[in-house]
Amino acid sequence: MRLDIDTFREIANSLVRNRSRSILTGFGVFWGIFMLLFLVGGGQGLKQLISSNFEGFATNTAIMFANRTSLPYKGLKKGRSWNMTYTDVERLKRMVPELETVTPIVSNWGQEAVNGSNTVNTNVKGIYADYCMIEEPRIKYGRYINESDVLQERKVCVIGKRIYNSLFPTGGDPCGSFIKVGSVYYQVIGVDVSAGNMSINGSADETVSIPLPIAQKIYHRGNQIDLLCVTAHQGIRMSSLEDRMRQILAREHNWEAADKQALFVVNTEQMFSLIDNLFTGVNFLIWLVGLGTILAGIIGVSNIMMVTVKERTTEIGIRRAIGATPKDILSQIIMESISLTLVAGSFGIVFAVQLLRLLEKIVNSRPDASPVDFQIGFWVAVAAAVLLSALGVAAGLAPASRAMAIKPVDAMRDE
């Protein structure tokens, strides 16, 4: 194509002469590219926003707790209660080597935490140091419970964000201070400000976490545990281990392994997989709608260019008569089509980016919100511009072919 200053001047004059049509047609392209990019950026931000509810949780985790049986077993009636024990922890570690972490939880609900004149209701959670592999803490002050705290049975605790705000309203580092939970005093060693909305036996921001041996003795739990949390080694799906863990626990506690109700299992792998599958479908729908809207705009560009070519039959015939080649006519029509789509598309890209930036500021202005990115990537915008150029060429091919077919004599006769 011949791309000199005269060609661009002719293109500009043509767009100005047909500005009402150009604006109307360009709006279709503008709306199409805006819809596509806004939906792509919005879908990405929405996925991050939903995923933030699971922030800090391992993606390959199972949380198990005992429930009443629903099937009879070896003469034993259904509806029986049973409890998991510390022995189950060692049994699973030994018999299921694919498990990376096996850690129990003991909880006590409805306790009152006191610091001076400040009080708040809380949930006490007894844990081992490796519980951080299940629910990753975000420590603002101090540290998390470690192996020494567990082995030496120290009366220490890590408090959640809400507990900290209620017991220490003036702020500051509370580590080293003592709080009373129930009838026992604990020394605060850390503040966990985890923001995830998913909780295991109580939300992290409303929990006082203490070493598990201390909880076992203070609340007279004996050998029983409330929950058993496990993670698998990298590359191993938790769903492939679930049946084997059921069989091990069923054999030890005398219930039917096929009894799904007897052992309730929450598999986070399935939840994360569900989210990924959901947004795979959402992304497909976004691209389907966006590309469909763009194609509708491009068809409009092609139709308008056809009308323009028909109205300029005489002009094109005169240009052919004074020496313009078919290639010159082809380049002008196609460049007009590309210019129209690129100008309208560029406005659509800019508008989508600015609106996504505004949406990002509104979402991230929430208190204690995890940052969410609604913006499209640079290369996505570049790909959109390339796509517009290609579609502009496609939209101009039919009108350009018609223009090249015009003969000077026929053009003069029409005049």
DSSP string spanning 278-298?
Answer: HHHHHHHHHHHHHHHHHHHHH
Asked whether residue 24 is assigned to any structural domain, the reply reads yes
Closest among 347, 337, 308 to 21, alpha carbons compared: 308
Provide the pLDDT for residue 3.
Answer: 46
Residue 178 has pLDDT above 50, yes or no: yes
Q: What band does 49 get if pLDDT is binned at 50, 70 and 90?
A: confident
Mean pLDDT of all residues in 234-260: 89
Strand 184-192, strand 156-160: pairing:
parallel
Cα distances (angstroms) measured from residue 404 to each of 22, 122, 328, 329, 409? 22, 81, 9, 6, 13
Name the DSSP class of 103. Answer: E
Asked whether residue 390 is assigned to any structural domain, the reply reads yes
Please provide the average confidence, as pLDDT, over all residues in the chain.
80
Same domain, 135 and 180: yes
Asked whether residue 60 is assigned to any structural domain, the reply reads no
d(CA 15, CA 24): 12
d(CA 101, CA 287): 41
Residue 94 has pLDDT above 70, yes or no: yes
Which residues have a Cβ under 8 Å from the Cβ of 414 and sit 6 or more positions away? 313, 314, 317
Closest among 129, 136, 182, 117 to 154, alpha carbons compared: 129
Asked whether residue 267 is assigned to any structural domain, the reply reads no
Mean pLDDT of all residues in 350-356: 87
Same domain, 277 and 409: yes
Asked whether residue 61 is assigned to any structural domain, the reply reads no
Give the DSSP letter string of 294-363.
HHHHHHHHHHHHHHHHHHTHHHHHHHHHTT--HHHHHHHHHHHHHHHHHHHHHHHHHHHHHHHHHHHHHH
Closest among 302, 323, 297 to 402, alpha carbons compared: 302
More confident site: 59 or 22: 59
Same domain, 158 and 119: yes
Residue 279 has pLDDT above 50, yes or no: yes
d(CA 80, CA 78): 6
Same domain, 117 and 35: no
Closest among 218, 155, 219, 151 to 189, alpha carbons compared: 155
What domain range is 167 assigned to? 100-226
Same domain, 9 and 153: no
Same domain, 287 and 402: yes
Chain segment 289-309, per-residue pLDDT in tens = 877 877 777 777 777 777 766
Instruction: Give the pTM.
Output: 0.65
Which residue in this structure is represented by tokens 């039917």?
256
Name the DSSP class of 131. Answer: G
CB-CB contact of 11 with 332 (8 Å) = yes
Mean pLDDT of all residues in 376-387: 79
Provide the pLDDT for residue 225.
Answer: 92
Same domain, 83 and 178: no
Same domain, 307 and 400: yes
Same domain, 169 and 93: no
CB-CB contact of 201 with 227 (8 Å) = yes
More confident site: 89 or 345: 89
Asked whether residue 237 is assigned to any structural domain, the reply reads yes
Same domain, 75 and 126: no
**β-pair partners for 179:** 186
The H helix count followed by the E strand count for the chain is 12, 12
Asked whether residue 289 is assigned to any structural domain, the reply reads yes
Q: What band does 411 get if pLDDT is binned at 50, 70 and 90?
A: low
Tell me how many domains the chain contains: 3
Residue 408 has pLDDT above 90, yes or no: no
Q: What band does 2 get if pLDDT is binned at 50, 70 and 90?
A: very low
More confident site: 218 or 393: 218
Cα distances (angstroms) measured from residue 138 to each of 47, 148, 193, 208? 22, 20, 5, 14
Asked whether residue 192 is assigned to any structural domain, the reply reads yes
Residue 315 has pLDDT above 80, yes or no: no
Name the DSSP class of 398. Answer: H
